[in-house]
Structure 1
Amino acid sequence: MDTNERRREIIIQLTNSNTPISASTLAEHFSVSRQIIVGDVALLRAEGHDIVSTPRGYIIKATDTDYPYVGMIACRHDSRQMKDELYTIVDFGGTVIDVTIEHSIYGEISGLLNLSSRYEVDMFIKDVSGENDKPLSTISGGIHLHRIGCKSEEIFNLIKEKLKEQGILL
């Protein structure tokens, strides 16, 4: 398989996957190094493909049209409340699309999350619990925004109500 074929196949695999695919998994599949895959993805992005790196691997960027309703919430909490916040959102049927903070030098900084189950939340919490890896909200004193995808505005409002009861919603 030549380089162009491999890159086309990477796009096909990412498009057909409902979950992120790690560079290591792609490297193993194509019998190349992880660094080759990282380079392929960088070039695919430069060609205009909406490939996003998440803590669990690469995905094709979801758009707001992937959800019947998308709302935004502003939250503030410490690291101990992060699991409660994310569990509440997914338990009531929401998907945490991303997180955004305001940085004094760089402006808005966002990270794609795409968390829609307790398992995905647990994996994310594990990833950001390392010595060198911290959630974005630690930069902004715990203040951050989430876009949440839902089946309806009613579900979104229920999520907001529960987060308010927990003292997490700003």
Structure 2
Amino acid sequence: MKKLLGDERRNYILELLRQEGKAITGTELAKRSNVSRQVIVNDMALLKAKNEPIIATSQGYLYLSSNADTTIFEREIASYHTTAQAEDELNILVDAGVTVKNVTIVHPVYGYLTASIMVSSRYDVQQFIQKIKETDSNFLMDLTEGAHLHVISADSEEKLDQAVEQLSKKGYLLSINE
């Protein structure tokens, strides 16, 4: 395959992300475009600057297509648990049929720090946890001794309610009194 240049490459990347409908790693996009991964990182910055709905997740780059026929409900929840319980928390959420969009902590120096997660299945959770382990990374909540926020989304309020109820039963929700 020939090396794709500039706008042609960025249009190709956009089309790939739209068609796949799932996250694609920078390495994979680089391979398909016959350029370096760093070129892809730069392309993503340019595409985001043009307001393309692309986010970087732990699984790769994802194009957020807006489906006008589907109403999506969102809720922000406050969680508190140990690092060892992170996978359980995420599995509870995806098992209720919700997507965990991000994690946010309130850092005493830096303020609000948010990272995209975008997990919607046990497979996604497994991949996310595996990447944390493989890279010897820490969870953001480690900076706040377990306290963090998630934005969760689903196609019904009932799924969000179910997710919150299950987290509450496990004692993972941060209460106002804590």
Q: TM-score, normalised by structure 1?
A: 0.90
Tell me what 2:74 maps to.
70
Tell me what 1:26 maps to.
29
- Native 8 Å contact 1:76 1:169 kept in 2: yes
The ranges of structure 1 where at least 4 consecutive aligned residues each deviate by more than 6 angstroms after the TM superposition are none
Q: Tell me how far apart the structure 1 counterparts of residues 97 and 54 of structure 2 sit (CA, whole Å).
A: 25
Tell me what 2:20 maps to.
17
The superposition leaves residues 90-140 of structure 1 with CA deviations (integer Å, 9 ceiling, x where unpaired) of 111111111111111221111111111000000101111246411111111
Q: TM-score, normalised by structure 2?
A: 0.87
Q: Tell me how far apart the structure 2 counterparts of residues 20 and 27 of structure 1 sit (CA, whole Å).
A: 14
Q: Tell me how far apart the structure 2 counterparts of residues 25 and 31 of structure 1 sit (CA, whole Å).
A: 10
State the SS of the aligned residue for 2:165: helix
- Native 8 Å contact 2:18 2:65 kept in 1: no
Mark the CA change 1:96 to 1:4 in structure 2 (over 3 Å): closer, same or farther: same
State the SS of the aligned residue for 2:159: helix
Corresponding letter in the other structure for 1:73: I
Mark the CA change 1:34 to 1:127 in structure 2 (over 3 Å): closer, same or farther: same
Taking every aligned residue pair, what percent have the same amino acid on both sides? 37
Tell me what 2:121 maps to.
117
- Native 8 Å contact 1:67 1:149 kept in 2: no
Tell me the C-alpha RMSD between the 2 structures: 2.0
Tell me what 1:40 maps to.
43
Q: Tell me how far apart the structure 1 counterparts of residues 140 and 65 of structure 2 sit (CA, whole Å).
A: 20
Q: Tell me how far apart the structure 2 counterparts of residues 159 and 36 of structure 1 sit (CA, whole Å).
A: 39
Corresponding letter in the other structure for 1:41: M
Q: Does 1:151 align with 2:142?
A: no
State the SS of the aligned residue for 1:9: helix
Corresponding letter in the other structure for 1:71: R
Is there any run of 5+ residues in structure 1 with no aligned partner, and where? none
